[in-house]
Homo-oligomer: A and B are copies of this chain.
Amino acid sequence: MTAAEGKLGLDPEVVRTARRLAERAAQPVIELARTHSTVSVERAVVRLAGITGADAEGIPWVNRLVDSVRDQVGLEYGVALPVWAALATGDYPGLTALAREAAAGGVTFRLPTGHAAERARRASLRAVAGGVARVDANRRQREEMIAGLGDPPKPWIYLIVATGDIYEDMPQAQAAAREGADIVAVIRSTGQSLLDYVPEGATREGYAGTYATQENFRLMRTALDEVSAELGRYVRLTNYASGLCMPEIATLAGMERLDMMLNDSMYGIIFRDINPQRTFIDQRFSRQVHARAGIVINTGEDNYLTTADAVDAAHTVIVSQLLNEHFGHEAGLADWQLGLGHAFEINPSLPDQFRLELAHAQLVRELFPDAPLKYMPPTKHMDGDVFFGYLLDAFFNLVGTITGQGIILVGMMTEGIVTPFLSDRDLALKNVRYVRDACGSLAEDFHPPRDGVIATRARQVLSESIDLLGRICDDGLLDAIAAGTFGITKRPATGGKGLDGVVAQAAGYYNPATEILEGRAHDEVQDELS
């Protein structure tokens, strides 16, 4: 137990009950994810095998290829067998060539059987192992760089860049790092998460964010490596996995050495109206890739408090974190990879607002002692008074410091007005630094009495969480989501975008990536992986 813990007097038995209920509630959804695939999962497989590029319209070859397979033989058996069977004909020099030809209508895909199937299986496994090896190499490189350059102490300072233009983003990211950012996140353009493909190349136009593309990932990671060397401290890079292409973006992140990814089991459902089944399936695969890549995920519970009230809905944050934790563990993520999200969103005009925030933040801290919690600043009540906004961000920073949060997303005074200016970031970092240095170990002096406002509130939220988890176990998670449990937004299980990209696995479904990620193919691909 760390120093931040044990101040609330939580009953360990109650905490165990909460975890047990979360596991039960998650179980049916995990079963669904295990037995289904999606177009994006299949595309991720082919991406691991090395496909790149896009056609003249900007649609990636991998989409063309998977769509062809799907049109001709369906995806019930996975894309690997038909694709590597086609490659085995020797008619195509590689995946990209195959895709190009397929798009032109010149390839006939078949589900191979017998010996051909076995060959396709092996070939696909080896090809995908190449991608996994690249992911592994990146993980090792990160570890080495951190060992060499040094890792900043917690809490890590998390800053966003969002110009829409990767070439403006790069110097801004470097400037942010020089000013003290430990983590730089590149926000995506508003429309991207509903695209059922990942754009290609370096991009210079995006609304309120920059497209997530493999090339943009590479450019930004290079820029940050440069500044990491300059600063003598490894600066982490974050992007967003959530959306219709979660598995693929997770894969590209692993291949380009991103360090953290926004990856929530329910964000796409609730805030992007993506189909729940699609999301849960994609989420599981993407997390398996993150687990392998040593990437820390960030979950999105903070968002609930922008649509729901932060006091009324405090327990929905806890419930969601327990679910995200279980989904994460099941996908192979370790505790240190679980950047569970929460936020400082209580209305500042509420009496005792600050102490209620302390109660919530400390509760999360004590429930997940080994997770690098990601704490989000006020957004909803940032109303254009930039002076007051700057102050509110300081009190957010203070809660973060007192309760020992792991990752502090730096609040911007222009929240509510514009995407951040260069100067907003600079001022925001000065804010963070003051609070961190001046109030350093204020936790030492923070001892909420057992029957005081803070401890009482924390216990109340935990008990409301247990009640809600109980109801979810009874009704099923999909029904709970349909009923508007999270973010007071109703999302029926068969609604939303992307359900047509979901497919039930047939007996004989084969996915070389899953084989490797779930540890079933280790012997076979030892050579490729070492």
* Interface residues, chain A, with chain B CB atoms under 8 Å away: 348-355, 358, 385-388, 390-392, 394-395, 413, 427, 430-431, 434, 437-442, 444-449, 452-454
Complex Cα–Cα for A350 and B434 (A): 9
**Which B-chain residue is minimally distant from A433 (CB atoms)?**
B349
* A440 in contact with B390 (CB, 8 Å): no
Select A351's contact among B387, B437, B442, B445, beta carbons within 8 Å. B437
**Which B-chain residue is minimally distant from A423 (CB atoms)?**
B387
* B351 in contact with A440 (CB, 8 Å): yes
* A449 in contact with B438 (CB, 8 Å): no
Complex Cα–Cα for A391 and B439 (A): 13
Across the A-B interface, give the 4 residue pairs with the lowest CB-CB distance, nearest first: A354-B438, A353-B438, A447-B447, A445-B448
Complex Cα–Cα for A440 and B354 (A): 9
A443 nearest CB across to chain B (Å): 11
Q: Is the interface of A mostly helix, strand, loop or mixed?
A: helix
Residues on B with C-beta less than 8 A from A445 are: 355, 358, 446-449, 452, 454
Complex Cα–Cα for A345 and B427 (A): 21
Residues on B with C-beta less than 8 A from A354 are: 438-439, 442
**Which B-chain residue is minimally distant from A427 (CB atoms)?**
B387
A385 nearest CB across to chain B (Å): 8
Residues on B with C-beta less than 8 A from A431 are: 388, 391
Residues on B with C-beta less than 8 A from A448 are: 444-445
* B438 in contact with A352 (CB, 8 Å): yes
16 example contacts (A-B, Cβ-Cβ < 8 A) are as follows: A351-B438, A352-B441, A353-B438, A355-B440, A355-B441, A388-B430, A388-B431, A390-B391, A394-B394, A395-B438, A441-B453, A444-B448, A444-B449, A445-B449, A445-B454, A446-B446
**Which B-chain residue is minimally distant from A434 (CB atoms)?**
B348
Select A394's contact among B353, B391, B427, beta carbons within 8 Å. B391
A348 nearest CB across to chain B (Å): 6
Residues on B with C-beta less than 8 A from A348 are: 434, 438
* B394 in contact with A355 (CB, 8 Å): no
Complex Cα–Cα for A448 and B439 (A): 13
A343 nearest CB across to chain B (Å): 16
A310 nearest CB across to chain B (Å): 13
Given A349-B437, A352-B438, A445-B449, output 20 extra A-B contacts at Cβ < 8 Å: A348-B434, A348-B438, A352-B440, A353-B438, A354-B442, A355-B440, A385-B427, A387-B387, A387-B427, A388-B431, A391-B391, A391-B434, A394-B394, A394-B395, A395-B434, A395-B438, A441-B453, A444-B448, A444-B452, A446-B446
Complex Cα–Cα for A53 and B498 (A): 88
* A439 in contact with B355 (CB, 8 Å): yes
Residues on B with C-beta less than 8 A from A353 are: 437-438
A319 nearest CB across to chain B (Å): 26
Residues on B with C-beta less than 8 A from A438 are: 348, 350-355, 395
Residues on B with C-beta less than 8 A from A452 are: 444-445
